[in-house]
Amino acid sequence: MKFYFPDSQDLVSPTYDFINDEYSPYRVRQRDDVYAHQAVTPIPYDGILVSKAVVDGSMKCAGKYSAPQRERFYRLGVRNFFRLPGPCSTIGDCGAFNYIDEERPPYDVDEVLDFYGRCGFDAGISIDHIIFGYIPEESDTAPEAAWVERQQISLELAEDFITATKKQGARFEPVGAAQGWGPDSYAHSVAQLQKMGYRRIALGGMVPLKSHEILACLRAIDEVRDASTELHLLGINRVESMEQFARHGVASFDSTSAFRQAFMDDRNNYHTATDSYTAIRVPQVDGNPALKRLILSGHVSQGEAVNAERDCLRALRSFDQEETALKEVKSALAAYESLVLGPKKKSYLEHYERTLTDAPWRTCPCALCKKHGIEIVIFRGSERNKRRGFHNLTVLEAKMRQLAFR
């Protein structure tokens, strides 16, 4: 089972100063900052997935790349742009989430072929149009007309795509995109894609589905899937179900969930092999909008907030050196939390106590935890938060490796 990490230009600066919370004056982001595959070993994924919509944007949505980054990406190609080591493979897609509200995908086949071919991808997924809806096998509910139309659009574009790759002698592997609204409709898409000549098929639109619903679709696909056809799950990360998925032809998946939980989840921010922990929120006074509003309105003293912030960081670092008791750290965190959250919002102190008591970063074997210590569990700015996300990727990689050796 291979894991692909979807790119959204997530890098960290190796020279970031955590004590003063500042970058080196000589830092050049594209030259000096590093990706997860450069920051940790072993490489925490088998490859990366890059969406055309992320690089180029779509009609109604801007991409994540600046104009100079986009030009550099096309000039260098995907491998050199990301400084990928030999074992990492690449797969491109169109980023259907970015144009989900449009009537038709904003790209044509020639544009997508140019993107995959010019940038040197190992594999490229046909243009698809997401269907967000699910009808169980036992239901008599008829699909919406828009769902049927989107499936047909995806299949027509897939046929045009594979025909064009053969005609142009494309060097990348064509991957067919299957869309559906239930087991039978996904099986229909896979059957049609196989007839077109696809031997690698990506299943899209499954992100909202529960694991048992995905399995129901995979069982239906089994009825039509050739033994040589490999399946890829787009946007799915269900480690607990991966062994079952693999029995039904799933050979790869991509997901950002482990990375994004580091700073998007309310509580499960720092992962371990058997558990997860809440990161300790110490927002920057000048970087927290809610706190800035309280300061500007006169409800909170800026000097008091700055002192409380510094007390938290000092106590946490001293605790990591085993020079300060947990009780003192909790007191400092409580004082700052009362300023930031106010009396009406929920407290995280109970969760912080568990994180600090267990101190999981002290026993973590990953290079980032060994280097940065307690900084990795402090929820504060992108440099710490993304490093924690990279750490989570190493945990996911280890879980996947363990499954492979069973």
Residues 6+ apart with CB under 8 A from 23: 13, 15, 16, 17
Helix (H), strand (E) at residue 6: strand 2-6
- The catalytically annotated residue of 7, 33, 56, 93 is 93
Q: Which residues, including other chains, have CB under 8 Å from residue 45's CB and lie 6 or more apart? A: 3, 4, 5, 36, 37, 88, 393, 397
Asked if residues 206 and 253 have their Cβ atoms less than 8 Å apart, the reply is no
What was the pLDDT predicted at 309? 96
- What region, left, alpha or beta, does residue 257 occupy, with left being phi > 0 and alpha being psi -120 to 50 degrees? alpha
Helices (H), 170-272: 183-196, 211-222, 242-247, 257-264
pLDDT of residue 291: 84
**C-alpha to C-alpha distances, 332 to 278, 283, 292, 311, 325, nearest whole angstrom:** 17, 13, 20, 6, 11
How does pLDDT run across 238-264, given as a tens digit for each residue? 999 999 999 999 999 999 999 999 999
Q: Residue 78 has what pLDDT?
A: 98
Distance CA 239, CA 250 (A): 13
Paired sense of beta strands 378-379 and 280-281, if any: parallel
Name the 3-class secondary structure at 269: coil
Q: Which of 376, 386, 355 is nearest to 259 (CA)?
A: 386
Q: Tell how many helices (H) and how many strands (E) occur in the chain.
A: 17, 12
Name 269's bridge partners.
none
Per-residue pLDDT, 342: 66
Give the C-alpha separation, 251 to 3, whole Å.
Answer: 9
Cis peptide before 42 (omega within 30 of 0): yes
Range list for CATH 3.20.20.105 in the chain:
46-255
- DSSP 3-state assignment of 198? coil
Could you report the per-residue pLDDT of 85-129, keeping only the tens digit for each? 998 999 999 999 889 989 999 999 999 999 999 999 999 999 999
In the structure encoding, which two tokens stand for residue 376, read together? 């990795």
DSSP structure string for 135-151: --TT--PPPPHHHHHHH
Q: In the prediction, which pLDDT does 30 show?
A: 84
306-315: long-range pairs with CB below 8 Å, 24+:
308/332, 308/335, 308/336, 308/339, 309/282, 309/283, 309/284, 309/285, 309/336, 311/335, 311/336, 312/282, 312/336, 313/282, 313/378
Is 187 exposed, middle or buried, given 0-12, 13-18 or 19+ CB atoms closer than 10 A? buried
Known catalytic residue at 184: no
pLDDT under 70: residue ranges of the chain: 59-61, 342-344, 404-406
pTM: 0.93
Q: Which of 7, 33, 254, 320 is catalytic?
A: 254
Q: Give the SS3 label for residue 187.
A: helix
d(CA 55, CA 98): 11
| Residue 93 a catalytic site member | yes
Tokens standing for 189? Answer: 């898409």
Any idea which fold 46-255 has? TIM Barrel (3.20.20)
Strands (E), 47-147: 47-51, 89-93, 123-125
Q: Could you read off the pLDDT of 171-213 as tens digits, one per residue? A: 999 999 999 999 999 999 999 999 999 999 999 999 999 999 9
Q: Which two three-digit tokens encode residue 265? A: 């989840």
Bridge-partner residues for 49, per DSSP?
6, 91
- Give the residue among 78, 79, 75, 57 at the shortest CA–CA distance from 66: 57
